[in-house]
Structure 1
Amino acid sequence: MENRRWSSEEVLVELDPDTTSTSGLCCFKHKTRFLILVLTTLCLTSVLSNILTFNFTVICMVDTPKIVKNDSGRANTTTPFDGFSKTMTEEQNDTLNVGFASMLTKFMPHDAATAHIYASEPETAAEEEKEEGLLTTIMKNYGSHDVAQKKFHWSSTKKSYFFSAIAVGALLAAFPVTVMIAYAGAKKALLTVGLITTVATALCPFAVDTGDHFFIIARLLQGVALAACMPVIGCLTSAWASLDENGLFMGIATSFIQLAPVFTMPLSGALCVSDIGWPGVFYVHAAVSLCLFGLWAIFYTDSPADSRWIGDKELRRINEGKVCLLLKKVSDTAGEQSIVIAAIDAKADKPVSTVPYGAIVRTPAVWAVWVATLANFLGVYLVILFSATFLNKKLQYSVADTGVLAAIPTFIQFAVKVTVGPASDKIKCLSDTAKVKLGNSVAFLCMGAALIALYYIPFGNREQSLVMLITAASICGFNVAGFFKSATLVSRHHSHFVMSVSQMLMCVCMLVVPLIVQFMAPNNSDEEWHNVFVIHGGFLVIGNVFFCIFGSGEPAAWALESWNLKKKPTRFSVGEDAPSG
């Protein structure tokens, strides 16, 4: 047969069952794509869980005290003269702390004159050290069965550095990760950042003990992995989901944001009060990450056609009606057979058309998605990052109870999300635009109302405050039927770019929320926290108004150029030229 070159065109392909023959183990009864979905979601959950470890352990991190011996008069220092061993850490002033022999042989008048400073001002010195963010401790007289422990007392500013380092790391890695996904594929990119977050999490206890700068570096490395989450979700959905399963894949994959606190908070609470202590929180999370990413590497491939776990039937199900790029050469029947498989899998030697960046950024519906993303994650990260602190410090729940209670709202939100996402796809009485605006309004307005309600509820009534916090976090699960779904409906096969920007906005929110809380609640007073909640509730209301005005559920003009679902699929066989579209 004379050699032919297929024209570089995008077409819709319907695969004839008689024209393909792929070998697959097919041991999952044509449900391999759902296994891939679950494993990917768990890996993304692990990435965020590693980040959240510090958000809980910050309230229970303890270690063996280290006494800094110097003559500065600071907390944890001994008095500068021999014979009087009282420290600045509130030991009892009794004869057991006085060495009379040393006082008689090494007595210095100046030391005696200044002794009252060390005996009467321990609290002042300790508070000064606490504000400077140094390690301090309050020692007690323990029995033989007690273990002296200390807390890592950081200033509010230093803690905000630890929180914000995640967002900085994600922002710095956003462009390199996007390039790596484009050239090396989502699998290599996610495995790379997965290794980074696993090692960084395992080293966190060492970094904390070594110094604040080392801990900030570890947090930056944890943030690097976050940059890959949304782009990987885009790759997963476009490659492995069939056209009528996009809502399901998007709903479950994005639920890693809810699953991470559900896993991390109760586990961290249990480990913190156990004999293992707070270092065990980091070690266990690192071990879980290693196992999950190893399992994901076995099953995931960037293309379903390359997977040995998938059969012909499921491959046809995934690719039915999708836009495909034809750029392969054929010279005989066997060659053309491979062309058909490559075509339905949308794999090409080089891109046919570039992403219309200019048209995308000029589209109001896309800006509606981005504004909604910003408002959504300002509220979501407030709950994720600070719910444990709020429950423990303001509502006075114990550490163990805080771990369980902090997980409840995100668990409910996960259940809402995986239910609402597929249900939205099945509603036929409303247009796609009406459905995304309705879903977004339920999520944003109800969450905003619950946060604003916290402005009026005294925190002394902790049951009502807890109910409002749980309501705010739970109802947000409707966002999967709102701006999340709108992003894929409007941009279609260009959704990877829209979601990459959404990922950057998520990182900005993670960076900004701790700064907002630090600025508005530096003293953790009730009035300050009331203001924090009402401001974030206002963000959600404003974001929803913007989305309802400009949001859409219909594909943009630049997304229809090669994605026309109303066009009848083209069937072609050996010996035919590529169809003209």
Structure 2
Amino acid sequence: MFTYYRIVILIVSFFALSALSSNYLIINLTFICMQDDLKDGMTSANQTLVSRYAYSPSEKSLIIWAVAIGTVIGTFPFNFAFIRWGAKIPFLIGGVLSIISTGLTPLAASLSLPFLLVLRLIQGIAYSADFSAIGVITLRWAPLDEMSIFIAVMTSFISFSTFITNSASAWFCTSSLGWRWAFYSHTIATVVIFSLWMLIYKDDPTKHKRVTRDELKKLQKDKTKAELEIDYFVPYTAILKKVSVWVLWLNGLALISSLTFLIIYMPMYLHDVLKFDVSTTGMLAASGPLIHTLTKYVSGFFSDKVKIISENKKLQICNVLATGVPGILFVLIGLARHQQYAHFVLSVIQFMKSVALFTAPIKWYLFIRNERDITEWSYSFYLNGFLLILSSILFFFFCNDQPAEFTKITRDNPTGAKLLEENQQDDEGDGIEESD
């Protein structure tokens, strides 16, 4: 009898997360070929035909920032919805929003920039569902000894989606189908993936007919009541007072901000500065995220299964690989020429992703005036490298493998009840109601 239904859940969830990410990333590479599309061309002041899609640097930044604004708008409402109602329906809503906004993007681009910005805003709202989904799905469906693997696989969706989308978009750009089919094909794939999600996912493994008794025992082994029952009580005050949590968020911001910078601007850098053609640009822009994805899988297995190294040392090793090494590599690129309450912590990392979508264009604007000047690009790479190395060093001093005190706080103990009362006072007017 099949006793690994959780792996089916993991795979479908991973592809659903990747779909939300891919759909907002498509335009980063199609910018290159859209600017040469004269099908809906306009006549310029000097009576020459120019592309409707030849966006200026400021217009490109608006298109990117629209997604960032959407993720800011959607992050905490989605986080509340996931905690309150589980992952199935809120995540499906994110998928539907992404399907609609992605499928209509070519039409919006042909009509007007404001219409395109509205759809990009909706894509951002849809994209904001992902990290909250990871927290809830992991808590529900991962045994304790597989949680690192689940998180490693699901959080690799950004790199995987970048690899798939850059490769596919480059192919469509150079084919007879054209850049529009990069959006249409992703829309079709997203419909298929979220249809599977709707069919196979349930929030409660105990009520899923595909989960065997043996697998259910494994899912519940050594978990506390608080871990088995996701409650919307969160000790916000205690969490926010913990320095290690802030250092963790700094690491998340540094890593995601740097990764976002690469995802958004690497195609432009490879094509406009290093002068690669569109096909080669797509291949090179996809290769880094592919390596990143494979590394995350190895690190997840390493964290869960290797027992001869202490948990604290494994944390430090993995963090150096995640932030320290990329920090050094960012500098080298610049030199080149030619467990419990995890849903809240992860949701703030999701918010950091929203911040990263703002900071990536800012870092670009700070240093780059000429998109083809390799020296100006170098300064942005240096800044990213510095932030990654700094956050990696701070992690060594403030973070370890021991559960923080707030993980011991629940609704049922006196400290938890006291903090619950404080949270109710702090959140008064937020629309969060207590149940008896």
TM-score (norm 1): 0.68
**1:156/1:522 contact within 8 Å kept:** no
Matching residue of 2:388: 540
The code of the aligned residue for 2:63 comes to: F
Aligned: 1:503 with 2:404 = no
Distance 2:304 2:208 in 1: 28
The code of the aligned residue for 1:551 comes to: C
Matching residue of 1:45: 18
Matching residue of 2:248: 369
SS, match of residue 60 in structure 1 = helix
Matching residue of 1:346: 228
The code of the aligned residue for 2:262 comes to: V
**2:5/2:211 contact within 8 Å kept:** yes
Matches for 1:303-452 after TM superposition, within 5 Å: 303-324=204-225, 346-347=228-229, 351=231, 354-452=233-331
Q: 1:234-266: per-residue Cα shift (whole Å, max 9, x none)?
A: 001100000100011011010101110111011
Distance 1:212 1:285 in 2: 21
**1:381/1:510 contact within 8 Å kept:** yes
Distance 1:223 1:432 in 2: 36
Distance 1:290 1:38 in 2: 16
Matching residue of 1:568: none
Q: 1:360-389: per-residue Cα shift (whole Å, max 9, x none)?
A: 111111112111011111211111111111
TM-score (norm 2): 0.90
Matching residue of 1:256: 157
- Mind listing any 5+ residue stretches in structure 2 that lack a counterpart? 412-436
SS, match of residue 493 in structure 1 = coil
SS, match of residue 209 in structure 2 = coil
Matching residue of 1:129: none
Matching residue of 1:213: 114
* Richer in helix (by share): 2
**1:323/1:562 contact within 8 Å kept:** no
Aligned: 1:194 with 2:95 = yes
**1:174/1:227 contact within 8 Å kept:** yes
Distance 2:124 2:312 in 1: 34
Q: 1:266-321: per-residue Cα shift (whole Å, max 9, x none)?
A: 11111111111111111000000000000111111111112121111111110111
1:562 deviates by: 6.3
SS, match of residue 58 in structure 1 = helix
RMSD: 1.8
**2:235/2:409 contact within 8 Å kept:** no
Q: 1:153-182: per-residue Cα shift (whole Å, max 9, x none)?
A: 221111100011111101011122122213
Question: Which of 396, 399, 406 lines up with 1:551 in the alignment?
Answer: 399
Matching residue of 1:288: 189
Distance 2:319 2:171 in 1: 36
Aligned: 1:64 with 2:39 = yes
Matches for 1:13-28 after TM superposition, within 5 Å: none
Distance 2:83 2:307 in 1: 36
Aligned: 1:513 with 2:360 = yes
Question: Which of 74, 87, 110 lines up with 2:45 in the alignment?
Answer: 74
Number of residue-to-residue matches in the alignment: 408
The code of the aligned residue for 1:556 comes to: A
1:429 deviates by: 3.2
| Stretch moving more, 405-414 or 425-434 | 425-434
Aligned: 1:182 with 2:83 = yes
Matching residue of 1:299: 200
Matching residue of 1:55: 28
**1:166/1:511 contact within 8 Å kept:** no
Matching residue of 1:3: none
1:151 deviates by: 6.0
The code of the aligned residue for 1:458 comes to: R
Question: Which of 377, 380, 390 lines up with 1:529 in the alignment?
Answer: 377
**1:369/1:547 contact within 8 Å kept:** yes
Q: 1:161-207: per-residue Cα shift (whole Å, max 9, x none)?
A: 00111111010111221222133221100100100000100000000
| Compared CA separation, residues 272 and 151, structure 1 to 2 (3 A) | farther
Q: 1:325-370: per-residue Cα shift (whole Å, max 9, x none)?
A: 6xxxxxxxxxxxxxxxxxxx9348xx5x932111111111111211
Q: 1:475-522: per-residue Cα shift (whole Å, max 9, x none)?
A: xxxxxxxxxxxxxxxxx2111111111110111011210221133213
The code of the aligned residue for 1:64 comes to: K
Distance 1:393 1:151 in 2: 20
**1:197/1:221 contact within 8 Å kept:** yes
Distance 1:176 1:360 in 2: 19
- Mind listing any 5+ residue stretches in structure 1 that lack a counterpart? 1-25, 76-87, 90-135, 138-149, 326-344, 460-491, 564-581
Aligned: 1:30 with 2:13 = no
Distance 1:301 1:63 in 2: 48
Matching residue of 1:567: none
1:531 deviates by: 0.7
**1:299/1:309 contact within 8 Å kept:** no
SS, match of residue 402 in structure 2 = coil
**1:258/1:410 contact within 8 Å kept:** yes
Which structure has the greater CA radius of gyration?
1
SS, match of residue 176 in structure 2 = coil
